[in-house]
Amino acid sequence: MSRLFAVLISTLLALGAGNAFAQAAYVHDMTGTAVATTGTGAGTTQRALKIGDTVETGSTISTGDKSTAVVKFEDGQVMALSEKTSFRIVDYRFNKQRVSDSSAVFTLLQGGLRFISGVIGATNRNSFRMNVGTATIGIRGTDGIVTYDSVAQAIIATVNAGALEMATPQGTQAIGVGTFSSVSQGQGPTVPQPTSQATAAVQQVLNNLAVRAVPINTQIVVRASALAAAAQANATLLAAQAAAQPANTVLQIAAAEAAKQAQDSIAFAIQAGQQAFDTAVREGGAQQPAPAAPPPGPPTGTTGTTSGTTGDTGTTGSTPSGGAGSGGGGSGTTTPPASGS
């Protein structure tokens, strides 16, 4: 079954390989409603988005009230949109044979978003540009947040990792980690201030965007990742339905099959992305993007207070089957292993 599924995905990928209008990105996650608008004037088309849908360059993605969306691009770039946000993919071209010739140009029309740059930004930072009102934002790093109120024409940009450069006709400011700069109508960017000095309302908006779980910002094969995201969304839905109706055997079987299919498609998407990145490194000079900044909050890194690390009582947890015998943990009377201390 899984082999059949892998063959199916491979066929789909092969069919899409020569498509001149290859998808730029896919909807990785979303809550509420979102639409994609393409074309102009009478040729404008609009479609409701769901997890796993793909979007092309030239599309405008808009989230509804109390809605969010996470969009991931082929080079690994991640855009996490907050509610009532409109964001246009102006020119996205990922040249895997020559990554430095790629382009990632976006426009934030309204609302707020967090962006985490991918391979394009890591390989040639000048390739990335975001237009926001009268300002142009360039990246000098990885992870940032931009909000734009199109009525008041107010822009706020902050940095979680790396640095940003915000330029308007009135001036330019480089923004570092943990600081923010704002632009009011007809003004240049303000001198960056610590984010902690922003108003409570601004801090709340920035925090809401920063805490959203985002996927890894490594290169993907859009079609494979889109299929995987859709498969997992389907599996999650069926699992919830199966849990609500435990006596429904058909539903239980369907949920189990969907879970298996989701696992297969995720495994395939991970593998396809890694292979695609290896090729882009070999043939296109691609660079590995720096990871996204950790979500805000108390650090879990090195507090030294991990429960159980003062243990040796044998009560810290069960030893899983298969693990017994492979370790020697316990109250130590054994000879210590090789030590540098």
Partner 1 sequence: MRLRPGSPYTWSNIALLKARLPEPDREFESALRNAALLGPWEPAVQVALAQAGFRHWEALAPETRASLVANAGRMLRWQDVKLFELARNSGRLAVVCSLRGVERSPLARACI
Footprint of partner 1 (CB under 8 A): 28-29, 72, 213-216, 218, 220, 224-225, 228-229, 232, 236, 263-264, 266-267, 269-270, 273-274, 290-295, 299-304, 306-312, 316-317, 319-320, 323-324, 326-341
DSSP letters for 55-115 = E-TT-EEEE-TT-EEEEEETTS-EEEE-TT-EEEEEEEE--SSSGGG-EEEEEEEEEEEEE
Shortest reach from residue 297's CB to partner 1, in Å: 9
| Cβ 30 vs Cβ 50: under 8 Å | yes
- 320/141 Cα distance (integer angstroms): 42
Shortest reach from residue 113's CB to partner 1, in Å: 19
Angle, to 10 degrees, between the axis of helix 249-284 and the axis of helix 2-17? 40
Shortest reach from residue 216's CB to partner 1, in Å: 4
Cβ proximity to partner 1: between 189 and 289 the closer is 289
Shortest reach from residue 275's CB to partner 1, in Å: 13
| Cβ 186 vs Cβ 170: under 8 Å | yes
Cβ proximity to partner 1: between 109 and 177 the closer is 177
Cβ proximity to partner 1: between 137 and 262 the closer is 262
Shortest reach from residue 321's CB to partner 1, in Å: 10
Burial of 150 (0-12, 13-18, 19+ CB in 10 A): middle
Cβ proximity to partner 1: between 196 and 331 the closer is 331
Cβ proximity to partner 1: between 205 and 214 the closer is 214
Tell me if residue 171 falls in helix, strand or coil.
strand
